[in-house]
């Protein structure tokens, strides 16, 4: 049976186990061991204004930080204040800041690292 027949629903309606492949994403994650890096990509979630100093410290320490700000969208005043603080940090150290994923995430980079606003692939 061809792939087109399967898509159009011709032939057996049940999927065959060999049609799918299990991906073990953990096998793609490697640990660099004891070698320290000069820069890290850190993940953070800001739920309140009190969470911003930790994020700011990471950026001042030279790390790239990806921040989940989705919980702040319910409080517009806090949302705008946090973004203003994070933008000031990026501006202060000649870094960069950009919203990502329908403004659910913010990426902040340290000195001399700029974020391209052009998509490589995947639409306009």
What CATH number matches the domain at 40-109, 3.20.20.140, 3.30.300.160, 3.30.110.150, 2.102.10.10?
3.30.110.150
Beta carbons of 62 and 111 less than 8 angstroms apart: yes
The tokens for 73 are 């969208």
pTM exceeds 0.95 for this model: no
Q: What is the pLDDT along the chain (124 residues), one digit of tens a residue?
A: 555 555 555 555 555 556 677 777 777 666 656 678 889 999 999 999 999 999 999 999 999 999 999 999 889 999 999 999 999 999 999 999 999 878 899 999 999 899 998 888 876 5
């Amino acid at each position: 049976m061809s792939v087109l027949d399967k898509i159009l629903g011709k032939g057996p309606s049940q999927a065959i186990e060999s049609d799918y492949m299990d991906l073990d994403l953990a096998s793609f994650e490697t640990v660099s061991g004891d070698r320290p890096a000069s820069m890290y990509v850190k993940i953070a979630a800001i739920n309140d204004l009190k969470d911003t100093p930790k994020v700011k410290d990471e950026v001042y320490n030279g790390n790239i930080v990806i921040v989940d700000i989705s919980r702040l969208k319910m409080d517009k005043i806090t949302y705008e204040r946090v973004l203003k603080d994070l933008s000031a940090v990026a501006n202060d150290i000649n870094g960069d800041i950009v919203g990502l994923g329908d403004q659910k995430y913010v990426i902040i980079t340290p000195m001399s690292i700029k974020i391209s606003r052009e998509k490589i692939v995947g639409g306009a």
